[in-house]
Amino acid sequence: MNLKGKVAIVTGGSRGIGKGIAIELAKAGACVVINYKSNDMAAEKTMQEIREIGAYALKIKGDVSDYEFSKNLIKITVEKLGKIDILINNAGISKVGLFMDATPSEWDSILNVNLKGAINCSHNAIKEMIKQKSGSIINISSMWGNVGASCEVIYSASKGAINSFTKALAKELAPSNIRVNAIAPGVIDTEMNSWLTEDERESLVSEIPMMKFGEVEDVGMLVTFLASENSKYITGQIITIDGGMQ
């Protein structure tokens, strides 16, 4: 895939899936803006790894659930790099537990980051993309947004909403040559799964037809494809990458 000359923003881009996406975009030649909320060390490390590839990287700290920050994220990107071609709405949080035990502040937090974060960034990015009559927005959903997960009810709801948001926005922006797609990962081997015991990992692996967790690179390569001209007729799709688990 060739993304040389393209400018990409990856929200939640310092660790896990976001980092994998940022690095794959950089390998394809894109200039990458890494957005992150708090972990300065992780953001710096990701930025340095991208620069070692020979690509350009910039880090911008802030919370995408805040509309004014999201507006500023796009503004700074355009001021420094001249445009935005690709927006990856990856920032997300989860909390495992029974819905009956969840508190309003917990579900507000999940919905604000997972759903409002994507809405905030997209709302500001499309104003620039419409000017240039091109762009690609890729929302990172989850297989639980497709089928729902016990003990992750609000997380599942937020990702299901992302899927509907993706399909609706794709229809609205298609005449402006802006494509909107979502990727719904299954179990990806990241820090988010570090709480699993060895027995729990083995049990989870046994439920996956391919008998292994996915890697962040798997998601990153799919993002790169969807952001490239190779997928120029693909929009409004929710693409699941889960090793056949569903």
CA angle 159, 213, 140 (to 5 degrees): 25
pLDDT band at residue 191 using 50, 70 and 90 as cut-offs: confident
| pLDDT tops 90 at residue 44 | yes
Query: What pLDDT does residue 111 have?
Result: 98
| pLDDT tops 90 at residue 200 | no
Calculate the alpha carbon distances from 20 to 23, 32, 48, 180, 200 in Å: 5, 12, 14, 20, 24
pLDDT band at residue 55 using 50, 70 and 90 as cut-offs: very high
Residues tagged active-site: 155
| pLDDT tops 80 at residue 104 | yes
Average confidence (pLDDT) over 174-195: 90
Query: What pLDDT does residue 67 have?
Result: 98
* Window from 65-74, 173-182, 207-216 with minimum mean pLDDT: 207-216
pLDDT in tens, 141-183: 999 999 999 999 999 999 999 999 999 999 999 999 999 999 9
Whether this model's pTM surpasses 0.75: yes
- pLDDT above 90 coverage of the chain, percent: 91
Q: How far apart are the first and last CA of the chain?
A: 28
By CB neighbour count within 10 A (0-12 exposed, 13-18 middle, 19+ buried), where does 22 fall? buried
Domains, in order of start, for the chain: 7-241 (3.40.50.720)
Query: What pLDDT does residue 56 have?
Result: 96
| pLDDT tops 80 at residue 92 | yes
In whole numbers, what is the pLDDT of the chain averaged over residues? 96
- pLDDT above 70 coverage of the chain, percent: 99
pLDDT band at residue 121 using 50, 70 and 90 as cut-offs: very high
